[in-house]
Structure 1
Amino acid sequence: MSSQPTDLYSVLGIGPDADAQAVRAAYRKQARRAHPDAGGTAERFHEVQSAWEVLGDSEARAAYDRELRRPARGADSAEDADQAEDAPHYGRGSSFGGFRTTAAGSTSPTRSGSESARTPSGAAHLAPVYIPDLSSPEPLSLPLTSQRTHGGFGSGGLFGGGRALRRAQQTAELLEKHVLSDLPTARLFNTVALQPSGRDRWGQARPPKGRAAEHVLVCGDTLVVVSSLEVHAATASFDGRSLHAAGRSLALPDLTGQSRALRTLLEAAMRETGRETSLNLGQQVVLYAPDRSMQSPVVEARGTPSGSVRTPLAPARAFRSIREQLAASAQANVIDRHLLAALRDQLQHPQD
């Protein structure tokens, strides 16, 4: 890219006082205009994506606003210096919302520990593509196809009621607010069984039992399995395997095993429909501190995550990670109704 606008608000055609809803609407408008398939250019589309990566995230936007207000010759106080160190730096070859732009306008992920961020493909905000198209009532009715959240939580079994149940319900509500609202084609499935669903004597599917994933999000050909933990401290550390907080070591749920088991089931179900599908997997553990702040606990990574394990994060950062994982797919605007139907067959509490 030959140059990079220093004012990200002007890229989206809004002012610094625009609220989150206005920022999102402006991004979608500009992304449609800038997309190469609509007559735009790759460079312009990249500028819009870069602006959205910062302004669409409350933490990154706050840091950017501080950077704009900071005196040009440097920080005047220790507090300003600390803020400047945490703030993103904008311009050619700089980092935008976790992604480093190069002079050629391409992107390469920056790293946090051993994990790499994944740049959104831009497909998530294109017009949805339904497979099969909506002229067919099969394999999923139109109301269920358009439904954003599927499945609920039982009072026993996986959650056992009480605090665990309330935490799962809270996580589902926050996923709807901070992930589904931003990705039009994403769908959330709660309490998804990891064993094949069965049939009753009349041939009807019956809710499966046994192990289950708390939350599964799907967007295009990407699945992200999500779980949550309570951490009774404002800070924690992660050594790549266990979480350490308040003098205790907390084992993380095996989301890698859950996601792989689910992929095996779903890909087999898709083959039965004649569709050969290869699903991408993601995962995220959401941490809740006693004050239920979106920004805490603060997690210090002290080791390299093993395999595909991702660092557990406070809600604000966790939901951003989930959005990035889902939106990275080039098929993020595809709604595969066969895949949605297969996921619904795995719900332990369909609720509809």
Structure 2
Amino acid sequence: MAQRQTHYEVLGVAPTANATDIKSAYRRAARATHPDHGGNAEDFARVTLAYETLIDPASRTRYDRSYGTESSYLRGKAPTREDDTGDAGQRGSMRFDTSGTRPSATTPTEYLPPLDAPGAVDRATSIRQVHGTPRKRGIFGAQARLARETRTVALLSRQVLTALPSARLINGLHAPGGGYIDHALLGGYRLALIHSMLLPKGVYRWDGDSLLRDGKHIEPPRITPVVHQMQSLFPELNVTGWTVLLAPDGNLHEPVIDYVRGGVPGDMSVANVVNAINLVREMKMFLGTGPAPHVVDRTILARLLGGMY
């Protein structure tokens, strides 16, 4: 499955470029691609479309919230979700394998495109592991939600990112179909979407669809539709959803979750429910065992950062 080249890449500017930068880049790209100057008509059309989309604030906002998929075109080769299992996963990872062994999460980080290449995101942004912080949505901010998200960021930063140096955590994204994604954790060509709940200690039952305590139904965040939407927008990734149950006292082993058939967490499940200690273990397993866990794809990172609110 080919990767999408964003409008920012077409013009050779960063997603943070201002209107002046975009105009200057368009003039350079138009001169280089115009058929009257020996360029290619198709390339010139792409340059023009990129400029018209990014120069208008409203259309640029819509484009960013679509994660760079509107009116984009395809290039390159990256592992697909189908490549992410069995022998196909081995084939998909061969483009990164220069030693004869499968790359691991501790293999030195490789940036694609390289850090000195134009477009995508700049060097400082590319090497940063955490992007964004929990913040208000709209006029009013829910303090309980902000505190819960802050705890999740701290958990992932201290116990997951330290073990996965090439992983990138993006906080506060627009969901493609409306609403929000609390956290997105990118590792190679795998993406975990993470929401959280603060619940009293105790034993909870999860069967893959319903969360129960003492026979009482508790509604977890509706993350499944968002996972499907993001999987559609990022076909080159393996996307999964996770809801972490946090205990008020910070005990990573609480609440306790009793899994029944169909509810056991794993990378083949669209929606998973875990406590804090299991989230740490599952993230290390899910992100650290992909076909290229040492890779930071700067094009994908740029598209995710464009979806931040």
- Kindly provide the amino acid, as one letter, of the partner of residue 333 in structure 1: H
Cα distance change on mapping 1:337 and 1:309 into 2, 3 Å: closer
Letter in 1 for 2:174: A
Instruction: Pick closer, same or farther for the CA change 1:157–1:232 going to 2, 3 Å.
Output: farther
Q: Give the Cα–Cα distance (whole angstroms) in 2 for the partners of residues 158 and 285 of structure 1.
A: 26
1:282 aligns with 2:240: yes
* Matched pairs, number: 205
Match of 1:58 in 2: none
Q: Indicate yes or no: 2:281 matched with 1:320.
A: yes
TM-score (norm 1): 0.54
Contact 1:215 1:227 in 2 (8 A): yes
The reply on whether 1:218 has 2:186 as its aligned counterpart is: yes
The percent identity for this pair of structures is 27
Q: Structure 1 residues 320, 159: CA separation in 2 closer, same or farther (over 3 Å shift)?
A: farther
What is the Cα deviation at residue 122 of structure 1? 5.2
Q: What CA distance in whole angstroms lies between the structure 2 residues aligned with 1:257 and 1:217?
A: 18
1:32-91 residue CA offsets vs partner (Å, 9 max, x unmatched): xxxxxxxxxxxxxxxxxxxxxxxxxxxxxxxxxxxxxxxxxxxxxxxxxxxxxxxxxxxx
Q: 1:329 aligns with which of 285, 290, 309?
A: 290
When residues 298 and 324 of structure 1 are mapped into structure 2, their CA distance, relative to the original with a 3 A threshold, is same
Deviation at 1:229, TM superposition (A): 0.9
Please list, as runs of the form range in 1=range in 2, the aligned pairs for 1:1-352 lying within 5 A after superposition.
123-157=104-138, 160-195=141-176, 210-245=178-213, 247-267=215-235, 278-305=236-263, 308-348=269-309
Cα distance between partner residues in 2 of 1:137 and 1:143: 13
User: What amino acid is the match of 2:248?
Assistant: P
Question: Is the CA contact 1:301–1:311 (under 8 Å) kept in the aligned structure 2?
Answer: no
* 1:67 corresponding residue in structure 2: none
Q: TM-score, normalised by structure 2?
A: 0.61
- 8 A Cα contact 2:205 2:260, kept in partner: yes
**Inter-partner Cα distance in structure 1 for 2:137 and 2:298:** 30
Deviation at 1:289, TM superposition (A): 2.1
CA contact (8 A) 1:284 1:322 kept: no
CA distance in 2, matches of 1:246, 1:134: 53
Shift of 1:125: 1.0
Q: Give RMSD over aligned pairs.
A: 2.3
Classify the secondary structure of the residue corresponding to 1:124.
coil
